Structure 1
Amino acid sequence: MPVNEANPADSWWSNAVVYQIYPRSFADSDADGIGDLQGIIERLDHLSQLGVDVLWLSPVYPSPHDDNGYDISDYQGIDPLYGTLEDFDRLLAAVHERGMKLVMDLVVNHTSDEHPWFTASRDGGADGPMRDWYIWRPARDDMEPGTPGAEPNNWGSFFSGPAWEWDEGSGEYYLHLFSRKQPDLNWENPRVRQAVYAMMRWWLDRGVDGFRMDVINLISKDPALPDGRVPEGGRHGDGSPYYVCGPRIHEYLAEMHREVFAGHPRRLLTVGEMPGVTVEEAKLFTDPARRELDMVFQFEHVGLDHGPGGKFDPRPLKLTDLKASLGRWQTGLGTTGWNSLYWNNHDQPRVVSRFGDDGPAHRVRSAKALATVLHLHRGTPYIYQGEELGMANAPFTSIEDFRDIESLNHYAHAVADGADPECVLAGLRAMGRDNARTPMQWDTTRHAGFTTGTPWIAVNPDHTEVNAKTQLADPDSVFHYYRRLVDLRHTEPAITHGDFHMLHPDHEQLYAFTRHDTASGTELLVLANISGADLTVDLPDGWEHSETLIANVPATTPLTTPHTLQPWEARVHRRRTT
């Protein structure tokens, strides 16, 4: 039975664990300082030892790298920085030989401005045959083209500045929700959609096992392109009501399923990254009866520490907010649809620095505690490279240390508007995407075993303490704890099939919940002290002396009530209900 036509809890990916690789920073085989496909091949045994089921590969397509590969200039090739199509085929074969699957990153809200489609759209003029493959509009009436305020509407870009770029040669603006070098495709044009579907089928025919779809819920825009509300103190309007889960998004994804996935002989995985999606919309996207997607990435929980000034104005996380958010998604998709579970990815700072404690006293234990909480929820967990080692944010000292276009643009705009450069840097250090993109820490050598050349971005100096080689030799390491969590998901049905019940939702230190699976007669209790202080808790009835499944502190005494949890202690217990 093709995927999306089965109960999600019975699909192969329901008890799978996905590992995301950011190829630029994973492993460099040719000493040019940039990771590549051969480097990944040489490190696949690391993933086999971890026990993960799926490898998600961030973009490796040809690109000018304005946004580190998310600006694609050829959808059916491999960037020479990473290797060749033959290298990719070898990687795919090596992944399959190890019993794992490989999911590609699909970036089809936009292309690079160097993609042949955009070149033809721009150079053919307003009446050219490919003009409407992208979103072009003239300047506002009575405004001088190319001057501030003449843009077709007031939308702002995610990467700072207006979402429109004036093209002198063709006499119109084009829309770019991200970088000016990432023009948005016009999904209203059926020829665009068919070209995308043909490309997806080409990769599936090559043997890939599905797609993670970048900002896929932004592909449908309100054709009227109305102005957005300008927030207080803001310069640009918020266009999100007119393109987040836009008017034809469900139609497009249902069409994509029919054209690409329906009836496929292999069970494929489709994951939609969806900023701004609600629980109610996610239920529609992931309802198997609707045949759209298998699961979505939502952003609600990773926005809880954003302050009034946005993501680069961070505030301390309130645990009650986190529990309310994740608990709402657990309940909302509990009977229909499916959750993606993540702390980290290539766009988020490292969770041990963000929600944990990366100091020497609690770094290991807090990394394990946060992993315990996430992996015991209902859904498919995602591990981002280095997360299984407890990698932390980098000690960036100046703007010259950063590489990411979002951070660099934000700094330039904020300082130009009069912000204190040190305050801006503090926000970038805490929340910048480069925190996730420093090289993978394989060993204690000069560049952490990532490269023998000069890395494209500096290695975190803590790699002498935090690295894969050291942790593989230590049975109590973060790596081996993640390995046990992965194995637990494979073997304990209550994690996949059990319902979810949050305990103590108003407690500011304790994250606790139960998972109950009627079919196996099993109930799990998860307790985690998300703080650096001891915490005494009363157990729910019937859990005294229950079986310990996993704990990040040696369980020297039976579980009794009241029970004192040490700082950042997490434990999972099991009991039989039948």
Structure 2
Amino acid sequence: MADQHAAAEPAEHAQWWRDAVIYQVYPRSFADGDGDGIGDLTGVRDRLPYLADLGVDALWFSPWYASPQADAGYDVADYRRIDPAFGTLEQAEALIAEAHALGLQIVVDVVPNHVSDRHAWFREALAAGPGAEARDLFWFRPGRGAYGELPPNDWQSVFGGSAWARTANPDGTPGEWYLHLFAPEQPDLNWNNPKVREEHESVLRFWFDRGADGVRIDSATMPAKDPALPDFDHTAPPAPHPYIDRDDVHDIYRAWRALADGYERPRALIGEVWLGDPERFAAYLRPDEMHSAFNFDYLNCPWDAAALRRVIDATLAAHASVGAPATWVLSNHDVTRHVTRYGRADTSFGLSLRQHKAPTDLELGTRRARAALLLDLALPGGCYLYQGEELGLWEVEDIPDELRQDPIFHRTGGTDIGRDGCRVPLPWSGDRPPFGFSPEGATAPPWLPQPQQWAAYTAQAQEGRAESMLTFYRTALRLRRAERGLRGPDFRWLPGIPAGVLGFARGDGFSCLANLSGAATPLPEDADVVLASDPGLDRAARELPSDTTVWLRQR
């Protein structure tokens, strides 16, 4: 298919990802167009004007491909078909074209570490039996122990329990084991097999040819494995790790970058890279690999000025070393919503048990969330928003156990409640569930229950209210797009800033102050307030309250 973008596009816009605001759409929870309680492409298409009006530059879609949905679509059965729950390939193509007409870029998800156990390759491998060529596309191994009754090694699943599942032979006797670093329904691929590499490059071309402007790469550090599959001590991991951040994983992304750069308008590669080592992280962003990656150090950082300054400095230094743009993110489909996190005594994100039912001050969390947005949007680089944060939504923690669907909850026996709480369907209108998520008259309830308190947080309820979170997001995004000082890499910390306050300048005469201390602090006398996170702060104010961020322009 022809490239859907003009060949004469300015060079700076062709590299849109360098300072874009990208909005994550979690399809099953965004909007339900057909009334079955599950979000779909019809619902998204109906609300594309809402997203364009919000002021974002691009949309990232969590997987919309054919899938049994064992892990909410991250178990892909066929990349070339849309899951029937979401719609059709023709609808996806129409959505991409309609988004482009509104000036929105489109990023689709790819999951290179694994596929679904319903994928044609895995079905063939199971039917073929031990030693078959089809099994070399995965990690099949005989078990240990006298009768092969023990897993091939001691690796553990990210979702809890062993990372190995045992198969059954055609005669019903126990067979080989296969590796799944996530759920058993997600068998890991063997990237040493050329067919795996060829197939994924074909998938990239399939979506790039249909107008996708980039791909988000799930679990990007994990596809390459030590072929010896050694045991290892999780408390003292060896170097290199047997399946995280191995040097040979970079060969995959160099090939992908060459493919992406081969288009008249280069496509973007965006990595989910969870790494604590800044140098190892930056290696994924070298000029011949990915264009950008998620900044999880920033997401994990507590609401503390000194800690945030350290993360900002480390982030900018690591990205500058490879010429890549930094990114800033507060929430996504895997983590506790930041309105909830910022309302707790411990404001960092704990991936283990997510601080389930820890006391939360939602008013404080909302105040800090507003301040955090202005801080994010003022930093150099790109920014990611998660659907619903523009409405001020919080983590829903009281979902009944029988309605929870995240495999983390089930595989840990409920000790980790999982990620359902940040995936509850969005409230659009009305005063009771489904809050416009499904069309009027729909009989199927939303796939996860919505709290009644969200009646005051629907998009409709916030429309036109000057103090609402939705209005605040629209205003901030409009000003960010118009402010020339917020483009490019220019960034410098301001001198003489009190402890507990972050202050920096961008461009000529524009600055940002974020007060994370427990007391008000004076504002500079030679600057005017452009925008404040506190809706009650007067533009002529001379003090910056606690947990408040302002954008300033020097007179």
Which bracket does the TM-score occupy, shorter chain normalised? 0.7 to 0.9
Matched, 1:216 2:220: yes
Give 1:129's match in structure 2, choosing from 98, 122, 133: 133
Is residue 526 of structure 2 the alignment partner of residue 545 of structure 1?
Answer: yes
Cα gap change, 1:231 to 1:475, in 2 (>3 Å): same
> Please, which moves more after superposition, 366-375 or 272-281?
272-281
Corresponding residue for 2:285? 286
Would the alpha carbon gap of residues 285 and 115 (structure 1) be closer, same or farther in structure 2, given more than 3 Å must change? same
1:573 aligned residue = 552
Shift of 1:184: 0.7
Contact 2:257–2:269 under 8 Å retained in 1: no
Q: Partner residue of 1:164? A: 164
- Distance apart, 1:319 and its partner CA: 5.1
Return 373-382 or 275-284, whichever deviates more.
275-284
Indicate the residue corresponding to 1:402 in structure 2.
404
Q: Deviations over 1:189-209 (max 9, x none)?
A: 111101110111011112211
Q: 2:505 aligns with which of 492, 508, 515?
A: 515
Matched, 1:73 2:77: yes
Task: Provide the residue aligned with 1:470 in structure 2.
Answer: 461
Matches within 5 A, 1:384-463: 384-396=386-398, 398-412=400-414, 424=415, 428=417, 432-443=418-429, 444-451=431-438, 452=442, 453-463=444-454
Cα offsets for 1:132-166 (capped at 9, x unmatched)? 111122223x44323xxx22211110000011111
Structure-2 change in CA distance of 1:138 and 1:515 (3 Å): farther
CA separation of 1:400 and 1:318: change in aligned 2, threshold 3 A: farther
Q: Write the distance in 2 (CA, Å) between the matches of 1:294 and 1:523.
A: 30
Distance 2:311 2:11 in 1: 24
Instruction: Give the structure-2-normalised TM-score.
Output: 0.87
Distance in 1 separating the partners of 2:498 and 2:299: 20
Distance in 1, matches of 2:306 and 2:166, equals 46
Q: Is the 8 A contact 2:27 2:41 kept in 1?
A: yes
Alignment correspondent of 2:477? 486
Whole-Å separation in 1 of the counterparts to 2:497 and 2:301: 16
Question: Which residue is equivalent to 1:415?
Answer: none
Question: 1:250: how far off?
Answer: 1.4
> In 2, are the aligned partners of 1:330 and 1:377 still within 8 Å (CA)?
no
Which one of 144, 151, 168 corresponds to residue 147 of structure 2?
A: 144
Answer whether contact 1:356 1:367 (CA < 8 A) is retained: no
Cα distance in 2, alignment partners of residues 326 and 461 from structure 1: 38
Tell whether the 8 Å contact from 2:433 to 2:452 is kept in structure 1 after alignment: no
Contact 1:217 1:245 in 2 (8 A): yes
**Separation in 2, partners of 1:480, 1:456:** 28
**Partner SS for 2:221:** helix
2:488 pairs with 1:497: yes
How far did 1:405 drift?
0.9
Pick from 294, 297, 300: which aligns with 1:300? 297
Once the two structures are TM-superposed, the CA of residue 94 in structure 1 deviates from its matched residue by 1.4
Equivalent position of 2:269 in the other structure? 270
Percent of aligned pairs with the same amino acid: 33
Aligned to 2:118: 114
Task: Please state how far the C-alpha of 1:7 moved relative to its aligned partner.
Answer: 9.8
More divergent stretch after superposition (490-499 vs 118-127) = 490-499
Please say if residues 494 and 505 of structure 2, whose CA atoms lie closer than 8 Å, have aligned partners that are also in contact.
Answer: no
Structure 2 SS opposite 1:512: strand
> Cα gap change, 1:217/1:515 in structure 2, threshold over 3 Å: closer, same or farther?
farther
- Paired position in structure 2 for 1:528: 514
CA distance in 2 between counterparts of 1:474 and 1:22 reads 26
Paired with 1:557 and 1:23, the residues of 2 have a C-alpha distance of: 39
Matched, 1:329 2:329: no
In 2, Cα distance between the equivalents of 1:492 and 1:89? Answer: 33
Supply the AA of the counterpart residue of 1:351. Answer: H
Which residue of structure 2 lines up, in the alignment, with residue 308 of structure 1?
none
Structure 1 segments unaligned to the other structure (5+ residues): 306-316, 413-423
The 8 Å contact of residues 295 and 328 in structure 2, kept in 1 or not, is answered as: no
CA distance in 2, matches of 1:360, 1:154: 42
Structure 2 gap ranges (5+)? 345-359
Q: TM-score by structure 1 length? A: 0.84
Matches of 1:355 and 1:46, distance apart in 2: 27
**Further displaced range: 101-110 or 495-504:** 495-504
Q: Give the Å deviation of 1:34.
A: 0.4
Cα separation, partners in 2 of 1:215 and 1:361, compared to 1, 3 Å: closer
Q: Is the 8 A contact 1:221 1:247 kept in 2?
A: no
The one-character-per-residue Cα deviations of 1:320-351 (angstroms, maximum 9, x if unpaired) are 43442233112322352122211111111110
Q: RMSD of the TM alignment (CA)?
A: 2.9
Do residues 344 (structure 1) and 331 (structure 2) align?
A: yes
1: CA distance between counterparts of 2:484 and 2:180? 45
CA drift at 1:131: 1.6
